Structure 1
Amino acid sequence: MTPLPGHGAVEHGRASAIGWRLALPVLRERRRSLAILLFWSLLSVTPVVLSGQLVAVAVDRGFLAGNVVIGLVSLGGYGLAMVLGTWSKRQAVRPMSRIVEALRDHLVRSLVRGSLHNAVRDDRAGELGTVARITSQTEKVRQLSSGLLIPMSSVALTLVAATIGMFSLVPVVSLIILAISAVSGVLIACISRVWKQRYERALRAAERLSERAGEVLGGLRDVIANDGSKRAESDLDEALRANAGALTGVANIGGIRVGVIGLTGRVPLVMLFVLAPWLLSSGQLSAGALLGAATYLMSGLEPALRTLINTVGNVGLELITVLNRLARYSVAPELPRGGALSVDRYDLVLERVTFRYGPHAHPVLRAASLRIRAGEHIAVLGTSGIGKSTMASLLAGLESPQEGVVRLGGIELDRLRTSWLRSVIALVPQQAYVFAGTVRENLSYLAPEAADTELDEAVLVIGLEELVAEHGGYDGEINPDALTEGQRQLVTLARVYLSPAHVIILDEATCHLDPAVEERVERAFARRSGTLVVIAHRISSALRADRVLLLDNKGLHAGTHGMLLRSSPTYANLVGHWYPSGVGDFPRNAPASSASEAGTIRFSKLS
């Protein structure tokens, strides 16, 4: 497939590899969910394993032998196996959903990050087709993967069980059926290759249509002013026709595939009944064995072949095609791979750090130097968009500076083992993430071995008692959509409080909490062992900190509240925004040192 120009495309072979790599991190992180899914999927094929043999026993040793009890017990056992299989399929839905949702979130992050980095790197505006890819193609991956995981994990065992069962009852017919299935499989593989090419063409056509429509709508005023309506209409019509033609091509080849798949599933059963009179008359097959073989075909082999070809082959092919397509746009500069080191001290140091988001972008930080002592409580302030979150990402090792270094315990971050660094530094963003599951699972996500006493402490100091009680305790199920933004932030904060992290960075992670609750949370983290860095959205956070870091157009400034009041007009303006001059007392929660350093400046209470 020819790469589109100007899209940071990679050659097809590499894109295929990256397509799978997009999903691998999620699969590695969700190994436990995968194991649980496999267990329930394997248990769900119990009816297939037992079906033919139980039917054969019920007919030959039961009803035809005049023993109704054996017949009924055998059929009853088959019914119980079906109940067990259905229940197992239901149990497999939860681990499947956790894997699928994690995959979707990972793809969105990867695609957004890749598109932004490519746009900045090439000094151009973001692509209008990016929105289509994020919304439609990532949602397509979500739908396809949810329809693929459970069938893929059980279809192999179903085929093996049904084939062995068939061989045990009708070996000759089984060989003929396998030969027919092999020929059909080769034919379907050839058709699928053509289908994949047409589906890729349809994806490209849809992206071009989205981009063309965005360009026309975005420049509508210029189109009208320059009397270009007919040209714009012609361009859109051309893109629409190309998109419709590509979709028609996919539908046509898809219809052929459906026909071949249907024949592959039906021919074995027809072959069995065609040969049945000869098999019965020659004594090679009993009536019970015939019904058992038909059962294996109808409830095992035929559905499994249809699932393998139609679901795994069709949906799987579509899924990898979309992943490969997304991989072309999500390629971004990789984060430092990390070394093999760890440290036993946790002071953070920035040494002459310069960071910009592209070669032509204005530096967010320029030659910034800073030392944060282990156990120190720091507040970071600055106007919106000045780079506070960028500095948080640098301190956490999520971004790397173009110049200078960031060190933890005297060692550069990119020399530290990545998994260890992620467990030591916890960055809590403004957008809180709560997943569907129990209260315990949400709180102990970063500390799986946490005891109830540790959960109790976190709930108490963060202020989650009411939420836990509303859900009936730690084993109650959480519906993330039913929680307020403030409740989500509290759950996330309690999760991080329980974590083993030695450095906590709160990037406006309390913005949806009222001032009293925010103070309670910050004081809880300040008492907790370790370093606390608060990207503040209220000046009251600065009054509780040991030191304040101020970011402005002139760079990075550090000092106490009182020092910055005297030396920085920007800081004085920020303080004036929250505490206008006038009648009132200095905030009661301010440290005494700050009050004495503030001199004669008077402040009103926080509204």
Structure 2
Amino acid sequence: MRAALRRRPSALGRVAAWSVVETAPAFLIGHAVAGAIDQGFLAGKPMTGLGWLAVLGAAWLAAALAARQVILAVADIAEPFRDDLLHRVVDGVLGEATRAFHGPPPDSAALARATLQVELARDAFAALVTVLRGFAFTLVSAGAGLVTLAPSLAPAVLLPFATGVAVFALSLPALARRQARYLLADEASAETITSLCHGLRDITACGAESAMEAEADRRIGAQAEAAQGVARVLAARTAALAVGAWLPVVLVLAVARDVEAGVVVGALAYLTQSLAPALGGLMEGVGVSGVRLHAALGRITHSPPPLPSSPPPASSHPASSHPAPPSPLPLSGRAPEGVELALRGVTFAYGPHAEPVIRDLTLDLPEGEHLAVVGPSGTGKSTLAALIAGLLTPGEGTVELGGTPAGQVHPRHRVLIPQEAYVFSASLEDNLTYLAPDATPQEIRHALAELGAPGLPHADLDPRAMSAGERQLVALARAYLSPARLVILDEACCHLDQAAEARVEAAFAQRGGTLVVIAHRISSARRADRVLLLDGGAWIGRHEELVRSAAGYAELVAHWEPSS
């Protein structure tokens, strides 16, 4: 978190500058109210009173505009923080998958769960920065306004306010522990109920209803107990708010002898309109977002550590405020003797009780062949791509590349490009040479020209500002430059037009090696040497053959034809 804040000093500067504007009403409100009452309405000068209120209204309008700029500046800090966490998570999960080659297969949902924790951490981090910044600037502005307006009343407000903040701060460690305990209990009960739902038939067959009911009761009871623990600690927040926000009201009214009416109302305005909302926001933000961030970071930092890797390639670009690109792929795995792809009796299902997505598939793909995989949605095309790439392990059968199990092949020998391409915040050269650190500028220019992407910016890339098609071109060029001889395009051109898609597939076909394309359009199937149809079974042949012999393929072609 400290690194994320230090990395973007310009964004922090914008946050501070706009925060001064946003919290200006916190300083003006007491003076404006006191001036409007004492110098305006009570003095028989209504225009003067309205003038004071107009000044306050203008300050509020400027504050509303500044609040938007604060949100944008905080986002510039939170997004690199998210990138750092995502790099750690992906490296950790993939590293665990690499270590598991000779043991039981890793949890296929681990990456999805960890990515969810990253998103939660990013949102909580942004909320926490926003809340702490708002509290600090409001406290300084309102405190300065109160001291300058009513120095005799300031202690009656600021001392109990500081006590309330201290009470809340003391309750935070217990709240964090109990909130983390509740999250774990909630996940445990959800996993238990999910397992029971999936295994109802087996539970009934084994006569284990009573035992499973007792286990579910135990999990739910633990969750309820954890929730009660959180509720007990949250009671301290109510006490802190009472001491810090409402006790000062009583004290101000008690000590406000010989103080002008406008000044008393102005002091109460500082308390009720600035300090009390800031304290409530602090309790809500830190008590919810802060605890959620603590829990999410705890889950992320306890994920599998990344494998040792060589340092990232040196870049000719000057250092920037963007996060560093991820480290090169770990040097693990074996080199296959070729890129002939062989699947033997492959069956895969996403769970012990689920129907197989792919069943008893046998396929031989010689080196240098171009295969298109087609079929309706949900028939296992992306699953097949992950099996070929070694990211999934078949439940039955084998997947081998050059005689080596796909899961044990060194990452440099095969590359899979999914539909949603990943581009990290760095220069175009850093993105393209991630898989080929020794690529020369001439090779980079050649790759971009072959793929029809010479117009991509060479400056630092901002993934948020790029179109989906531009991100796909970056990922495709990265794969083109890699030494991999097996390339799998899983609808990797779906955001490109037909002409660009044809150029990309032609470039990879001429590049050499074996090409597998999960087809997005029928034109991809027409260009391939052979076509594999997945539709409750598997049919393979040339496009013209399948049109004549496979009714499902002919129907698919007829459905595709108008848009091809």
TM superposition score normalised by structure 2: 0.61
**How far apart, in 1, do the equivalents of 2:62 and 2:13 lie?**
19
Identify unmatched segments of 5+ residues in structure 1: 1-19, 344-352, 357-362, 370-378, 391-399, 407-417, 429-442, 451-476, 481-487, 523-537, 553-570, 583-606
* Deviation per residue, 1:335-379 (Å, 9 max, x gap): 543365769xxxxxxxxx9843xxxxxx4x43779xxxxxxxxx9
Q: Call closer, same or farther: CA 1:367–1:177 in 2, change over 3 Å.
A: farther
Q: Call closer, same or farther: CA 1:202–1:513 in 2, change over 3 Å.
A: same
**How far apart, in 2, do the equivalents of 1:182 and 1:89 lie?**
26
* Deviation per residue, 1:527-583 (Å, 9 max, x gap): xxxxxxxxxxx5x4455x3x312389xxxxxxxxxxxxxxxxxx976799456689x
Equivalent residue number for residue 181 of structure 2: 201
**How far apart, in 2, do the equivalents of 1:419 and 1:491 lie?**
14
How many residue pairs match? The answer is 425
Amino acid at match of 1:60: D
Give the 5 Å matches for 1:96-111.
Answer: 96=74, 110-111=88-89
Question: Do 2:427 and 2:459's aligned partners in 1 also have CA atoms closer than 8 Å?
Answer: no
1:228 deviates by 2.1
* Candidates 152, 155, 172, aligned match of 1:192: 172
**How far apart, in 1, do the equivalents of 2:497 and 2:148 lie?**
71
Question: Do 1:54 and 1:77's aligned partners in 2 also have CA atoms closer than 8 Å?
Answer: yes
Question: Do 1:129 and 1:207's aligned partners in 2 also have CA atoms closer than 8 Å?
Answer: no
Equivalent residue number for residue 60 of structure 1: 38
Equivalent residue number for residue 549 of structure 1: 513
**How far apart, in 2, do the equivalents of 1:72 and 1:78 lie?**
10
Amino acid at match of 1:152: L
SS at match of 1:124: coil
Give the 5 Å matches for 1:33-432.
Answer: 35-96=13-74, 110-111=88-89, 114-118=92-96, 121-122=99-100, 123-127=103-107, 130=110, 133-134=113-114, 137-138=117-118, 140-141=120-121, 143-276=123-256, 278=257, 280=258, 285-329=259-303, 331-333=305-307, 335-338=309-312, 355-356=332-333, 363=334, 365-366=335-336, 384=385, 385-387=387-389, 422-423=430-431, 425=433
**How far apart, in 2, do the equivalents of 1:186 and 1:30 lie?**
30
Equivalent residue number for residue 447 of structure 1: 459
1:272 deviates by 0.9
* Deviation per residue, 1:376-408 (Å, 9 max, x gap): xxx996794433999xxxxxxxxx9979999xx
Amino acid at match of 2:493: T
Amino acid at match of 2:499: A
1:51 deviates by 1.6
Question: Do 1:427 and 1:507's aligned partners in 2 also have CA atoms closer than 8 Å?
Answer: no
1:48 deviates by 1.0
* Deviation per residue, 1:311-338 (Å, 9 max, x gap): 2354323322332233212533365433
Amino acid at match of 1:299: Q
Task: Give the root-mean-square deviation of aligned CA atoms.
Answer: 4.8
Amino acid at match of 1:425: T
Equivalent residue number for residue 347 of structure 1: none
**How far apart, in 2, do the equivalents of 1:286 and 1:354 lie?**
76
**How far apart, in 1, do the equivalents of 2:409 and 2:170 lie?**
50
The answer to whether the aligner puts 1:519 opposite 2:506 as a matched pair is: no
**How far apart, in 1, do the equivalents of 2:121 and 2:388 lie?**
36
SS at match of 2:299: helix
Q: Call closer, same or farther: CA 1:489–1:137 in 2, change over 3 Å.
A: closer
1:162 deviates by 0.9
**How far apart, in 2, do the equivalents of 1:339 and 1:449 lie?**
17
Q: Call closer, same or farther: CA 1:212–1:101 in 2, change over 3 Å.
A: farther
SS at match of 2:145: helix
TM superposition score normalised by structure 1: 0.57
**How far apart, in 2, do the equivalents of 1:163 and 1:186 lie?**
17
Equivalent residue number for residue 492 of structure 1: 471
Q: Call closer, same or farther: CA 1:121–1:223 in 2, change over 3 Å.
A: farther
SS at match of 1:71: helix
SS at match of 2:512: strand
Question: Do 2:469 and 2:495's aligned partners in 1 also have CA atoms closer than 8 Å?
Answer: no
**How far apart, in 1, do the equivalents of 2:178 and 2:459 lie?**
47
Amino acid at match of 1:202: Y
Amino acid at match of 2:34: A
Deviating more after overlay: 159-168 vs 92-101 = 92-101
SS at match of 2:336: strand
Q: Call closer, same or farther: CA 1:104–1:42 in 2, change over 3 Å.
A: same
Question: Do 1:37 and 1:150's aligned partners in 2 also have CA atoms closer than 8 Å?
Answer: no
SS at match of 1:171: coil
1:203 deviates by 1.6
**How far apart, in 2, do the equivalents of 1:445 and 1:266 lie?**
57
Q: Call closer, same or farther: CA 1:366–1:57 in 2, change over 3 Å.
A: same
Identify unmatched segments of 5+ residues in structure 2: 318-329, 340-367, 372-383, 393-407, 415-425, 437-454, 517-527, 533-539, 547-563
Question: Do 1:381 and 1:388's aligned partners in 2 also have CA atoms closer than 8 Å?
Answer: no
Question: Do 2:153 and 2:267's aligned partners in 1 also have CA atoms closer than 8 Å?
Answer: no
SS at match of 1:329: coil
1:189 deviates by 2.5
1:45 deviates by 0.9
Give the 5 Å matches for 1:498-509.
Answer: 508=489, 509=492
**How far apart, in 1, do the equivalents of 2:264 and 2:11 lie?**
40
Amino acid at match of 1:550: T
Q: Call closer, same or farther: CA 1:573–1:495 in 2, change over 3 Å.
A: closer
